[in-house]
Amino acid sequence: MRFLRLFTKGFFVFINVGVVLLFLAACLAPYISPAWFWPISFITLAFPFLLGLLVLFMAGWLFFNYRYAFLSLIALFLGWKSISAFLAFNLPSGNKAAPADQSLTVMSYNVSQFGLYREKDSKYNRQAMFALIKKQEPDIACFQDFYTSERKNDFNNREDISRDMKMPYRFFSSDFNRNGMQHWGSIIFSKYPIIASDKVKMSMGPLSESLIYADIVKDDDTIRIVNMHLESYRFNEKDYTDIRKIKNQEDTGLVATKNIIQKMREAYIRRSQQADIVGNFIRQSPYPVIVCGDFNDTPASYTYFTIKGDLQDAFLNKGWGVGRTFNGLAPTLRIDYVFASTGFKVNSFRRIMSDLSDHYPVIANLSLMGSGVQEIEVNK
């Protein structure tokens, strides 16, 4: 009986140590570029589950043998930077937007081309998304995976949103086009005048997208809005079928796993390179910045920390829990963000649980502290 108790304790200690090592490896991801060592990025996907296991182990050891609880406690302490980027704990009472004349309401939304390729009800889907956006009354709207067309009987979403949402100022990347009539990319809409705008290629290749920015003027303040859509895994229907095979442990799962891992590896490496470009661009801004985007990466990633730098994450300031923004694959994927310079006060943050796109829109209400044209030192 004593042997069984020792064996059981040893087994759980062994498992606990393994979880600790994997958790700490995931916590190193912000410091290690996937371009240099890509496997670490896969561990970050397991970060929330490793965190949950550590908490369970700690609670269990406190009940059976409190000394072993320090294994998990020390790991949690060492990994606090990643934990604090993953979870938000804010009271709802403090999540209130400031008056419209004293703040900016900023929306970031991957609109999935407004359901262009949905087999059914694509027209209804677009109308419902327009209604959702209009109801939020954003001052600034940053959309990714945006589609617009100048073809007859097609959807000219650029013009329609500017008119219907009363956001006459805009800048569109138009990264891809067909016959010069149909366009895809990222876009910034604004109720306030845009005095400068441009796009920056984040990577090379026929499918590469651009970081876009627009400098807007509100009252006497100039603010730089940055919007981007970072590299996705580019999963197609066959890939999702392969994922189901992996889950079902079918005989072809090994081949399917190899294909999926290869796509993910390429995406991790390219995103890390894009993150370096974006981070450097943001830190050279002469104005306070608001950063929006679909990063396709979690808060435990190199991508997240490289882009965020010293910026505020609006969700962490005013949100609650995990803040999932992608409604597929896993229930813990927060990959859509609104960041702001430290010169802003984050008044509120909202996430709208809508299945009109595979992403949930996120909305932040921000106030720029101080008055006059705000400038920050440019990194040389």
> Could you give the number of structural domains in the chain?
2
Residue 4 has pLDDT above 80, yes or no: no
Q: Which domain-ending residue is among 86, 109, 141? A: 86
Last residue of a domain, one of 86, 118, 148: 86
Same structural domain for residues 24 and 138? Answer: no
Given a cut of 90, is residue 379 above it in pLDDT?
no
The structure tokens 């442990």 sit at: 249
Residue 256 has a pLDDT of: 62
Which of these three, 43, 59, 86, is where a domain ends? 86
- Domain annotation covers residue 212: yes
54/129 same-domain check: no
Quote the domain boundaries for residue 306.
92-368
Per residue in 54-104, pLDDT (tens digit) is 999 999 999 888 899 999 999 999 999 999 999 999 988 889 999 998 999
* pLDDT higher than threshold 80 for residue 1: no
Q: Are residues 34 and 80 in the same domain?
A: yes
Angstrom CA distances, 208 to 75, 202, 211, stand at: 38, 7, 10
The reply to whether 119 and 64 lie within a common domain is no
74 and 146 fall within a common domain: no
317 in a structural domain:
yes
Query: What is the CB-side half-sphere exposure of residue 357 using CA atoms within 13 A?
Result: 27
> Which pLDDT score, from 0 to 100, does residue 258 have?
76
pLDDT digits (tens, 9 = 90+) for 131-142: 999 999 999 999
Backbone torsions φ then ψ of 49, nearest 5 degrees: -75, -40
Q: Do 68 and 15 belong together in one domain?
A: yes
What is the residue type of 325? Answer: T
Instruction: Read off the pLDDT of each residue in 228-249 and give the average, rounded to a whole number.
Output: 69
d(CA 32, CA 60): 32
One domain for residues 330 and 360: yes
Is 208 domain-assigned?
A: yes
Query: Are 78 and 108 found together in one domain?
Result: no
In a domain, 253, yes or no: yes
The answer on 107 and 147 residing in a single domain is yes
Pick the residue with more confidence: 239 or 138?
138
In a domain, 42, yes or no: yes
pLDDT in tens, 287-311: 999 999 999 999 999 999 999 999 9
Identify the pLDDT of residue 246.
56
Mean pLDDT, range 196-205, rounded to an integer? 89
**172 and 96 share one domain:** yes
Sequence length of the chain is 380
pLDDT of 374 reads 41
Reported as a single tens digit per residue, the pLDDT across 250-299 is 555 566 677 888 889 999 999 999 999 999 999 999 999 999 999 999 99
Residue 377 lies in a domain: no
